[in-house]
Structures are given as C-alpha cells and as structure tokens.
Chain A
C-alpha cells in the first residue's frame, strides 16, 4: 500500500468518523432537567402558543375532542408523507412513560428517547428557542390531558429521506441557535419574538425553504409556497401586511380580518390556539411583526 493511498484512506475514515460524530443526536444531561420544577399555568400557555393540537389531535376532531392528542393527521411534503404520532399520556402508545428529560430532548433537540432524530416536520428548530423550564412545564401540562391508546402510524417517507441519521447533517446545517431578529427590541417586542420565533413556530410556514427544507432566514416571514401546492402562505412582514397592530391582535383573537372576513385554511386552526392567549401576548406578537425587516 502506497503512502498516498494510506493518506486517502485515513482521511476517508476521519471524514466518516467526523460525519458520524456530527450527525449524532444531541441530548440534555438529565441533571440539567430533572430538578427543574414544572409550572402548569406556563405549560398551558405554551400548549396554546405552541399549537400542539393543530397537528396532534385526531383528524377532524373538534371542541374538547381536540384535547385528545392521539395523532393520525397526515402531512404530505416533497419528502414524503408524515403522520403525526400519539403524544397523549397513554403509557403504551403515547408518551406517558417519558421522563421530563426525554421530553426536553424531543421538544428542544429533536431527539427521541431511543436516540434517533425526529423529522423537522416536528418544529423543534423553533421550539429550541424555549427554555428547559418551558419544556418541563409543557410536559407536565400534557400529562393532565386525556389519554388515548391509538397506535402511532409510521411516516411514509422513501429513501434517502428514510435514513434518519442524515437528519443530523440537516440539523447541523439548518438548526441554528439564537434569535432570527437580532435588532434592538422593546420588552413587548421581545416577548413577541419569543412567542413567534419559539413556541408559535410561525416561520415554519410563513418563511420559504430551500431545496433541502432549510428556512431562508434572509426572507424571514416573507411568505412561501403552500406545501400542498395550492396558493401561497402570506408575507406577514411589514412589506406584505399593512394591518395595524390592533388589526393583527384582533385577528389572532377572533379570526376577523380588517374586512371582517374570517381566517381561512390552516390559519383557522392557528386562531383556535391564539384565541386562548392573553390580550398582552397577542399584542406582543403584533408588535414584533411590525419590527421584523420588511420583505423586499
């Protein structure tokens, strides 16, 4: 074996090893989570700010039935069809047996209890902006909701997207930490930023993605093609939305547009969640949206 070949082989092994290391699922040290006390009121706020029910309730569920997070809704995409899992507190089919550390790993790091990556259809890249205390509180709140023993269906995702290890690379490229809008903000705008960029995960739909599904941060909240192929998700920066802050806050409360039409499509489900927030939180979201750089 020539030394050149040896060098190439060594470099190859290093690259594979490095890739394996870089794509390894990240987890919290349990000591960073276990002692954190849950706050159920905070958990309830985050439950609605985070919109858990919009994806995890059973297909077509309405009213109180939406609080049964048995999963089953289907989400078609360019990468395959994802099916929301059961996250009710059922010990077998849901997440009833999870520790708070396992829940924090899932919510904030996109890592499952058995150490695999979740697909980013679960918006952990936004939820990562929440704190460990937030995760612990949301976990405690979810445990107060009704349980259901419906089994979760596997995602219908083909090769190569079926190899979850690749998601480690995806996270490395696209799941960057920190706030998107980093300009000077008032306290109210900062509260809005936390709600929009964190639990509210508004950017997951309202920001365009590249071919690999990473968000185009340069066009933050500037609208995107609808994943179902029909129409566009609107631009909600000041470049695309001229509603007043009061208009935005009222829309998030009652679903009424300034013309007194009501919210349609997926946004109708979002309003069902934002209507449960406080007036202050809705006003904070509106204040933040006015501080987002206008689309070009």
Chain B
C-alpha cells in the first residue's frame, strides 16, 4: 500500500515535471504563427511605405496589390491563434499582454478599427500617391493603438 502510494506520488511528480519541460521545450506554435502574420503585415506595409516615403516610384498597381494583401490579412480568422496560456507570462517569446484575454471586447474594437483603416487604404492605394500617403497615418494609428495597449515594451 505504502509503496503503491509512493509510486503514485512519483508518477504525479514526473507528470508535473514532464509538463513543465514540455512547456519550456515546445513553445506553442500559435505564438510563432501570430508573429508570422505580423511579418506579412510588415512586408506589405513596407511596399506601401516605401512609396509613401518616396523611396521608390509610386506604382498604382503594386500599391493596390499590397493593400489588397493587407485586406486579406485583416480577414484571417485568428480565433484559434490566441489560446489561453499564450501571453507573455506563460510564453517567453511573446510580448502579448494578459489584458488581451481579459479585455477581449476592446481587442475586437481595435481590430475593427484596423479593418476600417485597411479598407480606406485599399481605396486610396491605387488612386494616387497623395491618397496613399494620407492613408498611412490611419493604418499606423490602428496598429499602434493595439500595440500600445496590449504589447509589452521591448527589452
């Protein structure tokens, strides 16, 4: 009886340990996938931004395509990408703050604001350079609003 109890304790401890090791060794793929989506945003914003800053010549077709990609990204269903336990207190490779999960309604509001800004960009990008330049601020503001509230400072 006593031995059985000891064995059970060991088994329980081993399970706990294994759980911890697993959590440390295998980061949740949701985190890296979220970051890859952010990279897709950044790349396409870079196409638009280079024109906005007049580092490359304005190209209505290329601008429309980049803005179209942003519009596709905004529509991605991310509901499986934000499971509980993937904030910056649980995962070392993310700056996502726990407030995302507690203020979810506000996260949705900010997501909708990004969607609106991207829609405006889609209309502006192919029009002319001045319109594109004007729409950058709105997109940047929407990105920044969410990052300001829900992303830990870089350190």
Q: Please list the residues of chain A having a beta carbon within 8 angstroms of any beta carbon in chain B.
A: 62, 230-231, 244, 246-247, 249-250, 253-256, 259-265, 268-269, 271-272, 275
Q: Does the CB pair B45–A256 fall under 8 Å?
A: yes
Residue in B53, B145, B153 whose CB lies within 8 Å of A265: B153
Q: Does the CB pair B153–A264 fall under 8 Å?
A: yes
Q: Does B54 contact A (CB under 8 A)?
A: yes
Q: Does the CB pair B143–A262 fall under 8 Å?
A: yes
**Known pairs A254-B140, A275-B141; A259 contacts B42 (CB<8 A):** yes
Query: Considering the chains assembled together, what is the distance between the CA atoms of A192 and B54 in angstroms?
Result: 21
Task: Enumerate the 7 nearest inter-chain pairs by beta-carbon distance, A residue then B residue, closest first.
Answer: A254-B140, A268-B148, A260-B42, A246-B53, A255-B144, A260-B45, A262-B143
- Which B residues touch A231, using CB under 8 A? 153-155
- Of B45, B53, B136, B145, the most chain A CB neighbours within 10 A belong to B53
Q: Does the CB pair A253–B155 fall under 8 Å?
A: no
| 17 further contact pairs, Cβ within 8 A, besides A250-B49, A260-B49, A262-B147 | A231-B154, A231-B155, A247-B53, A249-B53, A253-B136, A254-B139, A254-B140, A255-B143, A259-B46, A260-B42, A260-B45, A261-B42, A263-B144, A271-B140, A272-B141, A275-B137, A275-B141
Secondary structure call for the A interface: mixed
**Known pairs A246-B55, A250-B53; A262 contacts B153 (CB<8 A):** no
- Return A116 CB to nearest CB of chain B, in Å: 35
- Of A62, A259, A262, the most chain B CB neighbours within 10 A belong to A262
Q: Please list the residues of chain B having a beta carbon within 8 angstroms of any beta carbon in chain A.
A: 41-43, 45-46, 49, 52-55, 136-137, 139-141, 143-145, 147-148, 151, 153-155
Q: Does the CB pair B153–A256 fall under 8 Å?
A: no
- Which B residues touch A268, using CB under 8 A? 144, 147-148
- Which B residues touch A256, using CB under 8 A? 45, 49, 136, 140, 143
Query: Considering the chains assembled together, what is the distance between the CA atoms of A78 and B139 in angstroms?
Result: 37
- Which B residues touch A271, using CB under 8 A? 140-141, 144
Q: Does the CB pair A230–B143 fall under 8 Å?
A: no
- Which B residues touch A230, using CB under 8 A? 153, 155
CB nearest to A259 among chain B residues: B42
- Return B5 CB to nearest CB of chain A, in Å: 47
CB nearest to A254 among chain B residues: B140
Residue in B136, B147, B154 whose CB lies within 8 Å of A254: B136
Query: Considering the chains assembled together, what is the distance between the CA atoms of A260 and B140 in angstroms?
Result: 9
- Return A233 CB to nearest CB of chain B, in Å: 11
Query: Considering the chains assembled together, what is the distance between the CA atoms of A254 and B42 in angstroms?
Result: 13
Residue in A249, A260, A262, A275 whose CB lies within 8 Å of B46: A260
- Which A residues touch B53, using CB under 8 A? 244, 246-247, 249-250
Residue in B54, B55, B136, B151 whose CB lies within 8 Å of A264: B151
CB nearest to B140 among chain A residues: A254
CB nearest to B39 among chain A residues: A260
**Known pairs A250-B52, A264-B148; A255 contacts B153 (CB<8 A):** no
- Return B7 CB to nearest CB of chain A, in Å: 47
